[in-house]
Amino acid sequence: MTRLVLRLPVGNRTGAVPYVRLAAGSSAGEHGEVQAALLPKASAVLGVWPAEELTLLGLQLPAMPSARVQAALAGALEDRLLGDLSQQHLAAAPREADGSLRWAACCERAALRQSLDQLEQAGCEVGQVVPEPALLEPGWACLQRLDDTRVRLLWRDAAGEAGWLHLQQDQADAACPQVPLGILVEPGLDPLAVRWFGEGAALQTCDRAQWLARAADSAWDLRQFDLLPRAAAQRLWNMLREQAAMPAWRRVAWLAGTLAALELLGLNLHAAQLRGQQAALEQRLQTTVAQALPGAPAVLDPGLQMRRALDQARARAGAPTGDGLEVLMGRAAQLLAGARPLALDFRPGRLSLRLASGQAAPASRRCQEQGLDCRVDGSSLVVATSD
């Protein structure tokens, strides 16, 4: 099983998406930054929602049924949130051993949904979203480079509360938090970490790929409640709603294309059914001929082999064969109605009679009325053996 961990884009950004692709049991793998449509395929896709876009909040809720968690989060955190609660998305942390809840994350619902939809439209559906502060254990910090002059410091204090700062690298008096355990440092930032946190700080190198890979071990998931991964029926319903909001000509074009695709699918299914019926009939015909002709080495053309066998049986019994002159003359007699042919030409299975002027057309009409295999060729009537 392969897992793809990526940093979720924020807003309408169309730039490259950082990712790391992990094989089963591996903590490092292929990584880089590509457009969303070019992200590699994997068995599962995890997203990391940036720390700048959310808040990690401590709380204390007892064990309760899952159906009550959303309302309990809203009641416990309503007084601590500055924005409109209806616009916020609240997600509970993994439960403690006793079933209680100690942490929750809060972010803007529309922004997270837009990011997930953007990736889904590019063919990458994110199944789990991990809040970035959850990549750190309490008491740890992470120092990363933003650009040539700025860095980002993300930390969780001993109690687990999270915070972040964007700092200039030349800020000698940066107000950095006390980090008692250690600091994850992006390669090249060790001197800056020592200058800010002192010589005794426990530094651990962690590049961007290793940072994203930490999400694979997290049980956090922001895709809860109304942001749960949508089932196929729900995605279809949302697509229909989007189509209904389109201009009329676009709806007509979309409907026409859908109907054409359904018609083509129906024709293919009907053709497949007909091919199946044809194969079944051919098999039954071969079985019947094989049973009727036990001495035949193989049944390649059932109709032809059966006619030949019948003709051979008639010949042995002294009866006229199906394509013999007697049979064809008998058929022609039904058509001539007393008219005398001027000449005849016989070949096995085919008899041609040259008639006087005006006699061929009436013979052709009688041929159609009786359903016989015959045709008029100029002033000649041609009678053939039925296939």
Name residues whose C-beta falls within 8 Å of residue 352's C-beta, 6 or more positions apart in sequence. Answer: 344, 345, 346, 377, 380, 381, 382, 383
Question: Is the residue at 235 inside a domain?
Answer: no
137 and 215 within one domain = yes
Residue 80 lies in a domain: yes
Whether 313 and 333 map to the same domain: the answer is no
Looking up residue 217, the CATH number of its domain turns out to be 3.30.420.380
Q: Are residues 163 and 37 in the same domain?
A: yes
Answer yes or no: do 200 and 82 share one domain. yes
pLDDT tens, residue by residue, 228-254: 886 544 555 666 666 666 677 777 887
- Residue 5 CA, chain-centre distance (Å), reads 20
User: Of 198, 229, 260, which one is at a domain's C-terminal end?
Assistant: 229
Residue at which a domain ends, from 267, 293, 319: 319
Whether 299 has a pLDDT exceeding 80, the answer reads no
CA–CA separation, 186 and 172 (whole Å)? 19
Domain of residue 343: give its range. Answer: 325-384
In a domain, 236, yes or no: no
Domain count, the chain: 3
In sequence order, what are the beta bridge partners of 381?
Answer: 353, 376
Please tell me the predicted confidence (pLDDT) of residue 246: 67
Let me know if residue 59 belongs to a domain: yes
Q: Do 192 and 50 fall into the same domain?
A: yes
Q: State which of 292, 319, 346 marks the end of a domain.
A: 319
CA gap 38, 35 in Å, rounded: 5
Dump pLDDT digits (tens) for 140-161: 999 999 888 899 999 998 888 8
Q: 65-79, 184-198, 243-257, 296-310 — which is least confidently predicted? A: 296-310
Domain presence at residue 222 = yes
What CATH number is given to the structural domain containing 366?
A: 3.30.1360
The dihedral formed by the CA atoms of 54, 58, 61 and 65, expressed in degrees to the nearest 10: 30
pLDDT tens-digit readout, 62-93: 999 988 999 999 999 988 887 788 899 999 99
| 242 part of a folded domain | no
Nearest to 140 by CA among 124, 159, 122: 159
Same domain, 26 and 174: yes
Residues 171 and 225 both lie in one domain: yes
Q: Is residue 237 part of a domain?
A: no
Distance CA 187, CA 7 (A): 19
Task: For residues 224 and 86, state if they share a domain.
Answer: yes
My answer on whether 156 and 295 are in the same domain is no
> Is 234 a domain residue?
no
Instruction: Tell me: do 179 and 314 sit in the same domain.
Output: no
Strand 182-185 to 140-145 pairing:
parallel
- 119 with 96, same domain? yes
Same domain, 150 and 187: yes
pLDDT, mean over the chain: 82
